[in-house]
Chains A and B, each alone.
Chain A
Amino acid sequence: MRIATILPREALRQRMVKPYQVGATEPEAKLPPYLESFLAHLRLLVGVPFEYLVPDPRLLPTESIRFFYLDRSWTDRLVDGAIAVGKIGTREQAHHQAHAPAVTQQLDITERVVRPLQRRLGSFGSLKSGARRDSGDIVTGFLLRSAAVAGWPHMDVRAYRKIIPELREPGQPPNPPAADPNDAKVRAQQLLTLRLERLAPAVLFALFEGVPELVVLEEPHHGVQFGVREINGRLRVSQRDSHGSQLFSPSHPDSPLTVEVPVRRGGKNVIGVAQLYKKLQQEPSIPPQTGGGSFALQVLNPPWRQRFEGTEDHSEVLEGARSRVFVNVAVQVADQTVQNSFLRLIAIHR
């Protein structure tokens, strides 16, 4: 019979002084790629049933958007739970206990790869090597429940750590426009989108790394579009300068200059093009109307960009007594007068 090269007693002793079995820096301690990718997906709540995210449907009514911070403790527990599978004895527990900090650190990096993975932009290995290595930040996001999600399936969602103004000053060359997502300065302010997914046909779920001050939802682009806008039941077009930028009233910088669109008689929804042209010719601030090109400029209908600015931090704001349902029991019990009256009550009944 073969003699063991290491005595059981010695092995036990080794395990007692070295519960982690293998150092975190050793290659053997590395998470297998599938496991790592699974845990990173869990971190971003991929696959978590919707009832766990929104425990009551009234928390997300129709046509609403709810911004949130992601509770990292919650997602850490998800990962703990996943690793608990097949954990039979103290040996596995010791192993997990020893490696949990390294796993957390690694997943903070790997979770940035989940979205490129979902978009099939590359293999797990190559994407991971290109991911940022710094530690994890606060994760925020929003849940949007709207017919817009179902009707515009590829809307553009971006978050910025600073408010980037839309160009409003008339006459200034918009080169590039202030809110141009492709501009390097604008792009530097953009937060990494960790997840952007439709959870249901009308529910959009987004996660960003960092706290945004501006979130932009943009109508999907179908090339250049022409169209009119309905304002107070009337069809209007915006006045635009020769660069296609919207013009605003000099006295009210927030109200855009518009022209009402005449409609041909007959209820067939036909624009009175010639009459609109005449009206445009009389507007002083827009470039001279010469024909098809200048007319096209005025009926340009760029994709609508919805801005959500200044996410409010509600941590310090209590909404008054109505919504505060739990009495502060611990404080009440500690109150001396309450204690005294309670003792008296007991004495009476004794």
Chain B
Amino acid sequence: MSDELKPNVGEMYLYDVMTPPLPAGSYRLDASTAVTIGADPQDLSGGSGYFDVVGPRFTLPASEVGGVFPPHNGRGSFSHSIPHIALKRRTLPWERPLNGKAPSNPDPPTGPPPWMALLLLEEGEYQLLESRPLQEVVGNEAFQRLDSPQGVRCNAVELDAGLLDDILPSVEELQLLTHVRQVNPEDRELSAVDSDGWFAVVMSNRMPRPDAECRVCLVPLEGRGDPVKPDPPPVDTGFRLDIIAPFGEPEEGLASSERALLGAPGGEMILRPMGHASFFLRKERLVLLYSWKFFNEGFASFRELMQRLDVAMMGTVRDDAAPKVADTGHLPVKLQNRDGAEEHVLYRGPLVPFPLSRDPLGPYHSADQARRVNAETGAEDVSYAAAFETGRLLAAADGRLGQELLRWRQDAYRHSVRADEAALIVRNLSLPQALDLHAPLVPVVATRTMDRVLEGSGPRADSYGLRPIDKVPGLNPAELRQAWNLSSDDAAAAILGKPGDSVTPAVEAPAVTGRAPTTIDQVASTAPLLDHLDRARDRVLTNVRVRLEEKP
């Protein structure tokens, strides 16, 4: 078991047995030292101490369970499945002694027998007991064999001793039903996550019956050599004859061995001493380490169902009463046409028994466009029209889809408008290249406009409206010459009169009256000017007074 032997993902290695280096129990460790000095042994005192190797014994934490099959509370057809439990501690099944009798098989399986068994019990065959004192569960004799551990309470399962006899594996069988499995720790399929990849696996020897509610119980058999038989009970040879139940008891109450085989070759009759009734009415209790339930439903396995399937191409009809399917896969259906009259038409779903080429005439804009008349039969084929309507109804039922469709079209239309505008701008602004519609237009257009402004504005416009006046024949010598058919512009100019040749006299500018500049000193030295200033002051004061008096 070196580390190189690591299975690939999806593979596993199986081992018959894996014993612990030190079985669980109490140990004493004695230490002594042998020292000699010059062939003279020195007397050194040794020491001793006690330690326990512990492990699950009467309870099993759920975290120790790596997986179970059939799944916990699983429903399905498990009639041919053998239940099993995977334990995360690989040596666990061999950590304690079984104390069973040795089997008589001369060629026994390798290794010591494990101390636990997986029992499958059907609903009604058992009773669960919770948190009972150990002694009450295992009985005095076995309790002493277990070294009388004090204060232990455990869960237990109680069942008929006869039933236990029927289903409990023998010593040899316990060995066969337990093995160790190593998987790759990366393997999720084999549920090896959070573990080192090693599991001890305990299988049951019983298979669930159809439509049974089952409980699988992991029971420890440590010190319980009494119910575990060294040799397995005989197997069914194929002939079975139930004898009349003794004591008039119902058949279900009988132990298995009550069903003897009579009169058949290879059969045998088993005789039991009288008074055995007490034997199969006795209850047996077993400590319960772990248990889970599942339901065996359904009558057939996956394999049987699959093998029985009717395999064919679509359109195959086995039933004679079934509708006649055309070789094209069409099915005649009745339809009410728009006049309300019944019509026989053909329909074929999207699932056809042969490859078909794709209709290149798409897209269609209405269902009527997709209606066809079959050239061979003259009947109408509504398959594609039905498909169209189905798609339309499904889409119309989805509110968001309608919005998205509108958005899709709106985006296209808006883009189209934008493209048209851009084309117009390119033409009018004589842009050197087409506009990128996905870049902002404004900077491009603004820059180009500024460029055009800075290029210069050409001839100045006729801002005073003189050009039309200039065109008037009475003012323009050229116009006048043309109108009057004169010989030259000079003649016309002479008629219109040149500046300077004017008959009216030039207008003289009116004379401006002179006024000498006056300074403050001049006013102060002249009496009439001072008087004038005084009068002006009096007027102002009078005005102020009048204003003040007016006020109420």
Say which residue of A38, A269, A295, A324 sits within 8 Å of B209 (CB atoms).
A269
| Chain B residue with the shortest CB-CB distance to A13 | B420
Instruction: Please tell me if the beta carbons of B176 and A291 are within 8 angstroms of each other in the complex.
Output: yes
9-residue interface stretch from A28-36, A109-117, A118-126, A162-170: A28-36
**Residue B147 lies at the interface, judged by CB distance under 8 Å to chain A:** no
Instruction: Please tell me if the beta carbons of B351 and A32 are within 8 angstroms of each other in the complex.
Output: no
Closest Cβ–Cβ distance, residue A318 to chain B (whole Å): 5
Instruction: Please tell me if the beta carbons of B401 and A54 are within 8 angstroms of each other in the complex.
Output: no
| Chain A residue with the shortest CB-CB distance to B16 | A291
Instruction: Please tell me if the beta carbons of B306 and A81 are within 8 angstroms of each other in the complex.
Output: no
Closest Cβ–Cβ distance, residue B111 to chain A (whole Å): 6
Say which residue of B191, B331, B394 sits within 8 Å of A47 (CB atoms).
B394
**Residue B29 lies at the interface, judged by CB distance under 8 Å to chain A:** no
Given contacts A77-B384, A77-B387, contact A66 B366 (CB under 8 A): no
Chain A contacts for B255, CB-based, 8 A: 266
**Residue A306 lies at the interface, judged by CB distance under 8 Å to chain B:** yes
Q: With A and B bound together, what is the CA distance between A92 and B310 in angstroms?
A: 48
| A312-328 contacts to B (CB < 8 Å) | 312-315, 318-319, 323-328
Proximity bits, A65-97, B CB within 8 Å = 1, else 0: 111111111111111111111110001110111
Instruction: Please tell me if the beta carbons of B354 and A313 are within 8 angstroms of each other in the complex.
Output: yes
Instruction: Please tell me if the beta carbons of A264 and B394 are within 8 angstroms of each other in the complex.
Output: no
Proximity bits, B374-394, A CB within 8 Å = 1, else 0: 111111000111111111111
Chain B contacts for A312, CB-based, 8 A: 313
Proximity bits, B198-239, A CB within 8 Å = 1, else 0: 000101011111000000000000000000000111111000
Instruction: Please tell me if the beta carbons of A53 and B256 are within 8 angstroms of each other in the complex.
Output: no
Instruction: Please tell me if the beta carbons of B352 and A292 are within 8 angstroms of each other in the complex.
Output: no
Instruction: Please tell me if the beta carbons of B313 and A56 are within 8 angstroms of each other in the complex.
Output: no
9-residue interface stretch from A144-152, A247-255, A341-349: A144-152
Q: With A and B bound together, what is the CA distance between A295 and B179 in angstroms?
A: 9
Given contacts A69-B352, A268-B167, contact A146 B309 (CB under 8 A): yes
Instruction: Please tell me if the beta carbons of B235 and A264 are within 8 angstroms of each other in the complex.
Output: yes
Instruction: Please tell me if the beta carbons of B177 and A292 are within 8 angstroms of each other in the complex.
Output: yes
Chain B contacts for A225, CB-based, 8 A: 69, 81
Q: With A and B bound together, what is the CA distance between A29 and B256 in angstroms?
A: 80
Interface size for B (C-beta < 8 A) is 151
**Residue B404 lies at the interface, judged by CB distance under 8 Å to chain A:** yes
Instruction: Please tell me if the beta carbons of A323 and B327 are within 8 angstroms of each other in the complex.
Output: yes
Instruction: Please tell me if the beta carbons of A49 and B324 are within 8 angstroms of each other in the complex.
Output: no
Proximity bits, B343-360, A CB within 8 Å = 1, else 0: 000011111111110110
| B305-348 contacts to A (CB < 8 Å) | 305-319, 321-327, 331-333, 347-348
Q: With A and B bound together, what is the CA distance between A196 and B408 in angstroms?
A: 30
**Residue A200 lies at the interface, judged by CB distance under 8 Å to chain B:** no
Instruction: Please tell me if the beta carbons of B416 and A21 are within 8 angstroms of each other in the complex.
Output: yes
Interface centre among A81, A267, A303, by most chain B C-beta atoms within 10 angstroms, is A81
Q: With A and B bound together, what is the CA distance between A21 and B203 in angstroms?
A: 72
**Residue B84 lies at the interface, judged by CB distance under 8 Å to chain A:** yes
Given contacts A148-B305, A296-B201, contact A223 B176 (CB under 8 A): no
Instruction: Please tell me if the beta carbons of A6 and B421 are within 8 angstroms of each other in the complex.
Output: yes
Instruction: Please tell me if the beta carbons of B319 and A61 are within 8 angstroms of each other in the complex.
Output: yes
Instruction: Please tell me if the beta carbons of B314 and A143 are within 8 angstroms of each other in the complex.
Output: yes
**Residue B411 lies at the interface, judged by CB distance under 8 Å to chain A:** yes
Instruction: Please tell me if the beta carbons of B412 and A319 are within 8 angstroms of each other in the complex.
Output: no
Instruction: Please tell me if the beta carbons of B391 and A78 are within 8 angstroms of each other in the complex.
Output: yes
Chain B contacts for A269, CB-based, 8 A: 206-209
Instruction: Please tell me if the beta carbons of B180 and A293 are within 8 angstroms of each other in the complex.
Output: yes
| Chain A residue with the shortest CB-CB distance to B385 | A77
Q: With A and B bound together, what is the CA distance between A313 and B353 in angstroms?
A: 8
Say which residue of B231, B303, B349, B414 sits within 8 Å of A74 (CB atoms).
B349
| Chain A residue with the shortest CB-CB distance to B333 | A55
Q: With A and B bound together, what is the CA distance between A304 and B307 in angstroms?
A: 10
| B255-311 contacts to A (CB < 8 Å) | 255-257, 259, 297-298, 300-311
**Residue B161 lies at the interface, judged by CB distance under 8 Å to chain A:** no
**Residue B362 lies at the interface, judged by CB distance under 8 Å to chain A:** yes
| A263-320 contacts to B (CB < 8 Å) | 263-275, 277, 281, 289-297, 299, 301, 303-304, 306, 308, 311-315, 318-319
Instruction: Please tell me if the beta carbons of A147 and B235 are within 8 angstroms of each other in the complex.
Output: no
**Residue B424 lies at the interface, judged by CB distance under 8 Å to chain A:** yes
**Residue A182 lies at the interface, judged by CB distance under 8 Å to chain B:** yes
Instruction: Please tell me if the beta carbons of B323 and A32 are within 8 angstroms of each other in the complex.
Output: no
**Residue A133 lies at the interface, judged by CB distance under 8 Å to chain B:** no
Instruction: Please tell me if the beta carbons of B412 and A301 are within 8 angstroms of each other in the complex.
Output: no
Say which residue of B70, B84, B163, B349 sits within 8 Å of A268 (CB atoms).
B163
| Chain A residue with the shortest CB-CB distance to B107 | A281
Q: With A and B bound together, what is the CA distance between A56 and B347 in angstroms?
A: 11
Q: How many A residues touch the partner, as a band? A: 35 or more
**Residue B532 lies at the interface, judged by CB distance under 8 Å to chain A:** no
Proximity bits, A31-68, B CB within 8 Å = 1, else 0: 11011001000100101110011111011010111111
Instruction: Please tell me if the beta carbons of B80 and A326 are within 8 angstroms of each other in the complex.
Output: no
Given contacts A11-B417, A75-B350, contact A59 B325 (CB under 8 A): yes
**Residue B36 lies at the interface, judged by CB distance under 8 Å to chain A:** no
Chain A contacts for B95, CB-based, 8 A: none
Chain A contacts for B12, CB-based, 8 A: 224
Instruction: Please tell me if the beta carbons of B327 and A81 are within 8 angstroms of each other in the complex.
Output: no
**Residue A235 lies at the interface, judged by CB distance under 8 Å to chain B:** yes
| Chain A residue with the shortest CB-CB distance to B359 | A73
**Residue B474 lies at the interface, judged by CB distance under 8 Å to chain A:** no
**Residue A198 lies at the interface, judged by CB distance under 8 Å to chain B:** no
Interface centre among B80, B189, B234, B348, by most chain A C-beta atoms within 10 angstroms, is B80
Proximity bits, B477-493, A CB within 8 Å = 1, else 0: 00000000000000000
Instruction: Please tell me if the beta carbons of B390 and A49 are within 8 angstroms of each other in the complex.
Output: yes
Given contacts A22-B415, A92-B409, A268-B206, contact A58 B323 (CB under 8 A): yes
Say which residue of A15, A86, A304 sits within 8 Å of B303 (CB atoms).
A304
Given contacts A85-B396, A274-B172, contact A227 B387 (CB under 8 A): no
Say which residue of A29, A76, A147, A275 sits within 8 Å of B412 (CB atoms).
A29
Chain B contacts for A147, CB-based, 8 A: 298, 300, 305
Q: With A and B bound together, what is the CA distance between A294 and B181 in angstroms?
A: 11
Q: With A and B bound together, what is the CA distance between A106 and B286 in angstroms?
A: 67
Proximity bits, B61-80, A CB within 8 Å = 1, else 0: 00000010111000011001
Instruction: Please tell me if the beta carbons of A226 and B235 are within 8 angstroms of each other in the complex.
Output: no
Chain B contacts for A134, CB-based, 8 A: none
Say which residue of A85, A222, A267, A325 sits within 8 Å of B326 (CB atoms).
A325
**Residue B17 lies at the interface, judged by CB distance under 8 Å to chain A:** yes
Instruction: Please tell me if the beta carbons of B363 and A274 are within 8 angstroms of each other in the complex.
Output: no
Chain A contacts for B203, CB-based, 8 A: 226, 296, 299
| Chain B residue with the shortest CB-CB distance to A14 | B420
| Chain A residue with the shortest CB-CB distance to B256 | A266
Instruction: Please tell me if the beta carbons of B351 and A82 are within 8 angstroms of each other in the complex.
Output: no
Instruction: Please tell me if the beta carbons of A66 and B312 are within 8 angstroms of each other in the complex.
Output: yes
Instruction: Please tell me if the beta carbons of A74 and B354 are within 8 angstroms of each other in the complex.
Output: no
Task: List the 8 closest A-B pairs by CB distance, nearest first.
Answer: A266-B256, A81-B391, A291-B16, A292-B179, A315-B354, A82-B395, A78-B391, A291-B109
Given A147-B305, A273-B169, A274-B173, 10 extra CB contacts under 8 A: A35-B405, A38-B398, A64-B310, A151-B297, A225-B69, A226-B203, A262-B235, A268-B256, A329-B376, A331-B376
Spell out A's residues near B (CB within 8 Å): 5-6, 10-11, 14-15, 18, 20-22, 26-29, 31-32, 34-35, 38, 42, 45, 47-49, 52-56, 58-59, 61, 63-87, 91-93, 95-97, 100, 104, 138, 141, 143-144, 146-148, 151-152, 155, 176, 180, 182, 211, 217, 219, 221-230, 235, 262-275, 277, 281, 289-297, 299, 301, 303-304, 306, 308, 311-315, 318-319, 323-331
